[in-house]
Amino acid sequence: MNQRLGAAAGVAFVVLSFASLALAPTPPGFDATAAEFVDWYQGSTAGIQASGFLFGLDMVLAAVWFAYARAHVDGDGGGSTFGPVATVGMAVMAVGWIMTGGISSAVAMRVDELDPGVVVLGAMLAGMAGMASQFGLALLAGGMAAQAQRAGSLPRWLVVVGWLAAATALVSTVGMATDSDVVDLLLFANWPPFVVWFVGVSVVLWRSGGTAPATAGAAASDPVPVAG
């Protein structure tokens, strides 16, 4: 299996993620007024629609990356204890991102024709989908980190960063749900560890090239020296 395809997909995912976030300003919080939501959609229509398209493309790239990353992390010597957790997380994250982009794009396209109450409803649904995607990210990173720690299939520092990405994603979900300004900042603080972890796993895949993934039975305290 040529794992460099997964590595390339992972790096492309990160690049497109930043591009999609830069296309439109940050949406208002859950406690914003109807007028604020309408103004946001009217002022960012093209960017929101472009972001929605990139969200869908991003998830295709993430799915390719995940297929290779999980195969590497699981190893080939036995069953995967935490791999299913990561798979569920990947699915939840993908559905959440696609729904966020799809709902926001649909509202932006028809914002001038919609009642302000409908605009607010669309924004709330998109926000809830965003919360779900963050929870999925927590499961994805946590499941992968736990399996890599058990199998010794990733460098120890990358496992630690994976746990950090999972923890900040989980806390940012709480912040989005509570409208706490302090906790909500973790939504943005989550990006550095997530990007480092995602790119780090991609580098491991690239260096592994077409070689077989690490054996699942390797001791967690003796990681495979794939990071050089």
Q: Does some domain include residue 223? A: no
Q: Does some domain include residue 222? A: no
- Containing structural domain, residue 39: 4-208
Q: Does some domain include residue 220? A: no
Number of domains in the chain: 1
Q: Does some domain include residue 226? A: no
With contact defined as beta carbons under 8 Å apart, do 171 and 146 qualify?
A: no
Residue 99 predicted with pLDDT over 60: yes
CA 190 to chain centroid, in Å, comes to 10
With contact defined as beta carbons under 8 Å apart, do 41 and 108 qualify?
A: yes
Q: What is the pLDDT of residue 184?
A: 56
Residue 217 predicted with pLDDT over 50: no
Lookup: tokens for 163: 């746990």
How confident is the model over 187-211, as pLDDT tens digits?
667 788 999 999 999 999 999 876 5
Residue 146 predicted with pLDDT over 50: yes
The whole-model pTM stands at: 0.83
Q: What is the pLDDT of residue 30?
A: 76
Q: What is the pLDDT of residue 141?
A: 95
Q: Does some domain include residue 122? A: yes
Q: What is the pLDDT of residue 181?
A: 59
Q: Does some domain include residue 215? A: no
Under DSSP, is residue 37 helix (H, G, I), strand (E, B) or coil?
helix
| Average pLDDT across the chain, whole number | 83
How confident is the model over 174-183, as pLDDT tens digits?
766 565 555 5
DSSP H helical ranges for 32-82: 34-43, 45-74
Q: Backbone phi, then psi, for 191, in 5-degree steps?
A: -65, -45
Q: Does some domain include residue 227? A: no
Residue 13 predicted with pLDDT over 90: yes
CA 198 to chain centroid, in Å, comes to 9
Q: What percent of the chain has pLDDT over 70?
A: 83
Under DSSP, is residue 29 helix (H, G, I), strand (E, B) or coil?
coil
Q: How far apart (Å, rounded) are the C-alpha atoms in residues 122 and 117?
A: 9
Please tell me which residue, 24 or 95, carries the higher pLDDT value: 95
- For the four alpha carbons of 157, 161, 58 and 51, in that order, the dihedral sign comes to negative
How confident is the model over 27-71, as pLDDT tens digits?
887 778 899 999 989 988 888 989 888 888 999 999 999 999 999
What one-character DSSP code corresponds to residue 123? H
Mean pLDDT value of segment 18-32: 81
Closest-CA residue to 82 (of 156, 162, 189, 10): 162
Residue 131 predicted with pLDDT over 70: yes
With contact defined as beta carbons under 8 Å apart, do 53 and 193 qualify?
A: no
Q: Does some domain include residue 214? A: no
Q: How far apart (Å, rounded) are the C-alpha atoms in residues 153 and 72?
A: 7
Q: What is the pLDDT of residue 117?
A: 92
Lookup: tokens for 120: 């607010």
